[in-house]
Structure 1
């Protein structure tokens, strides 16, 4: 039987852009860029990411991230606590990763909105 509290919490998969943006803003605090070339970025996953997993209501984070515009592939490596994201640099400008992950909240939110086509 489904937990009513779980049903009341929007999933990042719900299609609600505000929820997607808020989830991206929370996730970014747990990511550290390790290597980046246009079209591919490798990020270290922070331990705080575990507390965010219930937000996915059983869906895989890689499935959710893979549905974002311009994301081609997402591969998690639990042993290395990292993720590799392959993306189309024509849709996701390489410099947008720095703003999204390391920028202040305002820049990160504006970048997320732009990447989702909601600028």
Structure 2
């Protein structure tokens, strides 16, 4: 299993396709070979998001290479998504990253 920082490195392949208050659609922008290689990493990201406080649901569309996330904007600020994906150091992105790191740590601990 990859480390959180290795997983975070794959975010360069993810773009925000659409974002409204409480719902964001993320799009994988990579070629087919990259998608096949990164399928495992995508499952790891999904398992982290599934357990993230404030995330209500996740819908994955493999054919469209997209993922819709419904979330509580009072728990996860809307700007956290764009800042985190762009690597912008902001309080909102730091909060989201901290929560994701904690969930990742819990998942890793359970697998031991």
TM-score (norm 1): 0.62
CA RMSD of aligned residues (A): 2.9
Query: Does the 8 Å CA contact 2:48/2:100 hold for their aligned counterparts?
Result: no
Which consecutive residues of structure 2, in runs of 5 or more, have no partner in the other structure? Answer: 103-112
Q: CA deviation at 1:61?
A: 4.4
Q: CA deviation at 1:116?
A: 4.3
User: Which protein has the larger Cα radius of gyration, Structure 1 or Structure 2?
Assistant: 1
Query: Does the 8 Å CA contact 2:60/2:66 hold for their aligned counterparts?
Result: yes
Give matches, 1:26-37, under 5 Å: 26-37=9-20
TM-score (norm 2): 0.66
Distance 2:49 2:13 in 1: 15
Which consecutive residues of structure 1, in runs of 5 or more, have no partner in the other structure? Answer: 1-8, 11-18
Matched length: 97
Q: CA deviation at 1:51?
A: 2.8
Distance 1:41 1:62 in 2: 14
Distance 1:22 1:69 in 2: 22
Distance 2:84 2:62 in 1: 23
Distance 2:6 2:52 in 1: 14
Give matches, 1:99-114, under 5 Å: 99-104=83-88, 107=89, 110-114=94-98
